[in-house]
Amino acid sequence: MKVTLRKVADYYEIYVPKKDLEEKIVAMENGTPWGGVVTISNGWKFQMPDMPADTPMPITVDARKLGDED
């Protein structure tokens, strides 16, 4: 699923155009949004792609939405 990631002040937000949904990232598996699972404020989880830490934002990437069982 395509998502757009941006940094706002001291946190990250994800925008999901398919759902017209913009939410704050509340948990990051690796301390960064890249290469791990992130959780957004509505409870959804996404497996994010591996990217360099200094990747310029905003950026649109393919992320895999994880189901409730993950």
Report the CATH number at residue 52.
2.40.50.240
Q: What angle do CA 24, 28, 30 make, to 5 degrees?
A: 155
The per-residue pLDDT for range 5-64, each reduced to its tens digit, is 999 999 999 999 999 999 999 999 988 999 999 999 999 999 999 999 899 999 999 999
Domain count of the fold of the chain: 1
Residue 67: the pLDDT is 86
Residue 69: the pLDDT is 53
Tell me which residue range forms the domain holding 23. 2-66
Residue 68: the pLDDT is 64
Q: How far is CA 35 from the centre of its chain?
A: 10
Q: pLDDT band at 70, cuts 50/70/90?
A: very low
* pTM of the full structure: 0.89
Contact criterion met (CB below 8 Å) for 36 and 53? no
